Amino acid sequence: MAAAKRRDRRALPDSSAGGRPGNPARTHRTRPMTSSIYRSPFVFFFPFALVFVPLALYFILRNPRSVSPILSVYERGLVKPNVAFHEILAEHSRVSENRTRKHFENPVLAYVTPWNSRGYEMAKLFSSKLTHVSPVWYELKSKGKDFVLEGRHNADAGWISDLQKNGHSLVLPRVVLEAFPAEFITKKKQWRKAIDIIVKECEEMGYDGIVLESWSRWAAYGVLQDPDMRLMALKFIKHLGEALHSVTSTTNSSHHLELIYVIPAPRSQNLGEYDFGPQDIQELKNAVDGFSIMTYDFSSPQNPGPNAPLKWIQSSLQLLLNDAKDGHMIFLGINFYGNDYILSGGSGGGAITGRDYIFLLEKHKPSIKWEEKSEEHYFIYTSNNQKHAVFYPSLMSISTRLNEAKKWGAALSIWEIGQGLDYFFDLL
């Protein structure tokens, strides 16, 4: 991609020689050809450009030293607390030329969603840095006494095989278990049906397993406070994991299908009865391949602030990992999105993507501050008499969280790569 970018930039003087930087193809088609040629200075430029442009390109391409390769964000000195908006604007789309060089050695799981389709492209570009890619595609729903797995229409076979072959990323779509919890958990016959459907989908589509999300929903429906129900719930996850492990991957006969289980991050200093805890990890750790912990969304429009304060991440890990040896089971959640909160003159606001963030930087040219307490960057701006606070991840904030993951021997899970800035991938 970096190479393509450079080509774009070099092509710019060429197209603006005609006095028209925009979209030359469209301008040509909408204008009557003959009259425009006679009136335009283009007629004088054309023979000149014909000779000059190829000549210039020849010299630029022949001498590789005239274009220095783009280094990583570390080598460019961009990972630091003091950053200016114009530096972010100038650098965010410049990615290290070497996209296979890893800075984070533990596994990296990247979520991809159909509503931020840029993630599909990024997953392919950086597949050598992503050990697991999880497209957010499926829901398992009750239908009478049966189940339906909805979402296959999202699947793109070409994209899946590109990922599996080029960068050796495993593809594990996310499945949300939407079946009515109280009924589902108590009926083992239903488990078998659900497990069969999931395993069959993996085999037919050539997936390497799934990422399962059910805990938050079970907690919301109040099924986890009963110890027997909780035990049954864990048993179902165990059975699913064992079933997937018993199947050989279609893409690599020395692999079995994997199960990664999504868990919420504890909200308070002590574990609540709904929280997934260290005993649950012990119960499941032989049947699953990891736990994707949602260490983000600490703040909300009602309670604006940083998205994932480092201290909260640390205390979540401490609560979850009685046994530090289990650190490798954790896929520590990292947000690639941010929030734009309204502080005064109203309330509300919500999630923003990298593109929104860049737009805000261009428009408001804000002074960006590093908040020591949460170890996140933020800025304040005013629009329509409303004061806003924007918390969006930065190279520095992500890098500190990557270091925390390394300390625990943990992997990463990124929500989600279609929302980030390109140069974040240099950190991985």
Ligand X SMILES: *[C@@H]1O[C@H](CO)[C@@H](O)[C@H](O)[C@H]1NC(C)=O
Distance, in Å, from the CA atom of 45 to the CA atom of 272, rounded to the nearest integer, reads 73
Sign of CA dihedral 354, 315, 409, 134: negative
Check if the beta carbon of residue 211 is closer than 8 Å to that of residue 262.
yes
Which is nearer to ligand X, 102 or 145 (by Cβ)? 102
Q: What would the DSSP string read from start to end of 5-55?
A: HHHHHHHHHHHHTTT--S-HHHHHHHS-HHHHHHHSTHHHHHHHHHHHHHH
Residue nearest to ligand X (CB): 101
Within 10 angstroms of residue 419's Cβ, the number of other Cβ atoms is 28
201, 222, 223: which is closest to 212 by C-alpha? 201
To ligand X, the closest distance from the beta carbon of 102 in angstroms equals: 7
Report the 10 Å Cβ neighbour count for 69.
Answer: 11
Comparing CB distances to ligand X, the nearer of 235 and 256 is 256
Residue numbers at the binding site for ligand X (CB under 6 A): 98, 100-101, 168, 252, 254-255
Strands 411-415, 108-112: parallel, antiparallel or unpaired by DSSP? Answer: parallel
C-beta closer to ligand X: residue 98 or 386: 98
Nearer to ligand X, 252 or 279 (CB): 252
What's the min distance (Å) between Cβ of 255 and ligand X?
Answer: 5
Nearer to ligand X, 72 or 299 (CB): 72
Q: How far is the CB of 234 from ligand X (least distance, A)?
A: 28
- Nearer to ligand X by Cβ, of 123 and 136: the residue is 123
Q: What is the phi/psi pair of residue 289, to 5°?
A: -100, 0
Closer by beta carbon to ligand X, 169 or else 374: 169
Which CB sits closer to ligand X, 101 or 363?
A: 101
> Minimal distance in Å, beta carbon 68 to ligand X?
13
- Shortest Cβ 94–ligand X spacing (Å): 16
163/160 Cα distance (integer angstroms): 5
Asked if 411 and 382 count as a contact pair (C-beta separation under 8 A), the reply is no
Q: Report the phi/psi class of residue 211: left, alpha or beta, with left for phi > 0 and alpha for psi in -120 to 50.
A: beta
CB of 296 to ligand X, least distance (A): 30
State in angstroms the smallest separation of the CB of 208 from ligand X: 11
- Residue 98 Cβ vs ligand X, minimum distance, rounded to whole Å: 4
Question: Dihedral of the CA atoms 84, 89, 94, 96 (nearest 10)?
Answer: 20
Residue 37 is encoded by which pair of tokens?
Answer: 């040629």
* Minimum distance from residue 95 beta carbon to ligand X (Å): 13
Token pair in block for residue 261: 């289980």
Which C-beta is closer to ligand X: that of 88 or that of 170?
170
CB 111 within 8 A of CB 174: yes
The answer to whether the CB of 244 falls within 8 A of the CB of 298 is no
